[in-house]
Chain A
Amino acid sequence: MPEQRRRLVASFFRPSRGHLVASVILMLCGLAVTLQVRTLSTEQDFSTLRRSELIAMLDDLNARSRRLETEIASLEGTRQQLQTGADRQQVAQAEADKRRSELAILAGTAPATGPGIRVVIDDPQAKVGESLMLGALGELRDAGAEVIEINDSVRVVASTWVGSEGTTLVIDGVRLTRPITLEAIGDPHALSEALRFRGGLVSEISDERVGGQVSIVTESEITIGSVRPVVEPRFARPA
């Protein structure tokens, strides 16, 4: 064991005045170190910085905040644009939806409900022909019928045609069984008047030549459930 080490160990157990002085100084040293460590850990380390460094830091922060502010402004502008764009799109969407449901009723692709009349044509001699039927549909439309259905199965639309096979009426390829029921949604009063006027459907059918009977019932709520499939036009294109 070297001599110095032995001396160090020996003096460890043999206190002297020098030891006391060293202990006081080391105590100051430990105090200072813990003080500094605590200051650094509890405080932001700005307090130990010099003025020029603080100024540089402040400048840096100011520049950064200016940059961020311009960024915020531009982003807010973008958000505004996107929002108004989205609003406009929503309005257009709602408009289109409304228009689509209106057109669906018109084209017969959707069920419809509303006030209207139910007309039952009973002609035992089967003398109600195409022209009478076309006339009846024309009168109903003239009186503002929005949706027309025949025999609870044929929805009358723009492409509807009326023909006959012998004494049987055919509408859109469907043979009509008698009695024929017409249901129409529209102003009930106007619709029933359109059929009842002198020389109109009722008087023609009640005439001796046809010898039938027409009953007109006004309903506050008629539901028309038959629909048409959507047909892609093969020849016509939007111009």
Chain B
Amino acid sequence: MYAILGLLIGVAAGIFLQPTLPAAMQPYLPIAIVAALDACFGGLRAFLEQKFSDRVFTVSFVSNVLIAALIVWIGDLIGVGSQLSTAVVVVLGIRIFTNVAAIRRALFHA
């Protein structure tokens, strides 16, 4: 319940407060979002498999986001930023699909 409340509060804050992101960080936000999605689905999967630990969840979320942004940042520095961001999106996408498949199996046995 708190989780859903938190999500709603975050969306509402984004819409109504209109915070602005520093321009230097803007290229990394999409990648960070994908990483965060991956962490969220991973957390739900762990919960359904009765392995959920809020510490692991927090650490995985933060590290996912930071590492994704870091990879893209380094890629930008060495001139392969767009390729590396594609790679990150592909890998995280595969992980999201795997997680969702596990969640589906746990919830529906299908």
Chain A residues within 8 Å of B, Cβ to Cβ: 2, 4-5, 7-8, 11-13, 15, 17-36, 38-39, 47-48, 50, 52-53
In the complex, A215 Cα to B107 Cα: how many Å?
128
Is A21 a contact of B23 with CB atoms below 8 Å? Answer: no
Contact of B1 among A13, A27, A52 (CB under 8 A): A13
A interface: dominant SS: helix
In the complex, A36 Cα to B57 Cα: how many Å?
23
Contacts A20-B2, A48-B30 given; indicate if A29 touches B10 (C-beta within 8 A).
yes
Minimum CB–CB distance from A13 to chain B (whole Å) comes to 7
Contact of B10 among A8, A21, A26, A38 (CB under 8 A): A26
In the complex, A47 Cα to B30 Cα: how many Å?
13
Minimum CB–CB distance from B22 to chain A (whole Å) comes to 11
- Which residues of chain B from 67 to 107 have any CB-CB distance to chain A below 8 Å in the complex? 76, 79, 81-82, 106-107
Is B1 a contact of A35 with CB atoms below 8 Å? Answer: no
Contacts A18-B52, A22-B54 given; indicate if A48 touches B6 (C-beta within 8 A).
no
Contacting residues, chain B, for A38 (C-beta < 8 A): 14-15, 18
In the complex, A224 Cα to B3 Cα: how many Å?
106
Is A28 a contact of B19 with CB atoms below 8 Å? Answer: no
Contact of A32 among B9, B32, B47 (CB under 8 A): B32
Chain B, Cβ-Cβ closest to A32 = B33
Beyond known contacts A22-B54, A23-B5, A25-B58: 6 more, CB 8 A cutoff: A2-B106, A11-B47, A12-B1, A23-B3, A29-B37, A39-B29
27 inter-chain pairs at a CB distance below 8 angstroms, sorted by A residue, are A7-B50, A8-B107, A11-B47, A17-B54, A18-B52, A21-B57, A21-B58, A23-B5, A23-B6, A25-B40, A25-B58, A26-B6, A27-B7, A27-B9, A28-B10, A30-B14, A31-B10, A31-B11, A31-B13, A32-B33, A34-B10, A34-B15, A35-B14, A35-B29, A38-B15, A50-B81, A50-B82
Minimum CB–CB distance from A11 to chain B (whole Å) comes to 8
Cβ contacts B4-48/A at 8 Å (1 or 0 each): 111111110111001101010011011011001101100100011
